Amino acid sequence: MGMPIESEIRNIIVMAVGSLIFALIGSVGCFCWGKNGVVYRTIIIGGAFCIWLLWICTFMAQMNPQLLPARPEYWLDQH
């Protein structure tokens, strides 16, 4: 029914490593100082979070793909 254990472990490792990479990218924003440091920190950390969220949603959607579109029952009755 489900995925093999090796595949699940591989997916967990990939998500952990990918999240770590995005955390490192976001942590670069913590070292921005100067006149506009707050703006730079906000943009870098917020951007890294948004890109990570897009990546993790895409990755998780591919873990259990929908192979064929599901047709509603009422659609079959009309045609």
Tens digit of pLDDT for each residue in 47-68?
999 999 999 999 988 887 777 7
At residue 30, the pLDDT reads: 81
Q: Model-level pTM greater than 0.75? A: no
CB distance 11 to 63 below 8 Å: yes
Q: Grade residue 77 by pLDDT with cuts at 50, 70 and 90.
A: low
What's the one-letter identity of residue 21? I
In the chain, the number of structural domains is 1
At residue 68, the pLDDT reads: 72
Provide the residue range defining the domain that includes 72. Answer: 5-78
- Taking each continuous run of H as one helix and of E as one strand, the counts in the chain are 3, 0
The strand ranges marked E within the chain are none
Distance CA 73, CA 79 (A): 11
* Both structure tokens of 25: 């990218």
Q: For the CA atoms of 3, 21, 42, 51, what is the dihedral angle to 10 degrees?
A: -40
Residue range 19-49, pLDDT digits in tens: 999 999 888 888 878 888 889 888 989 999 9
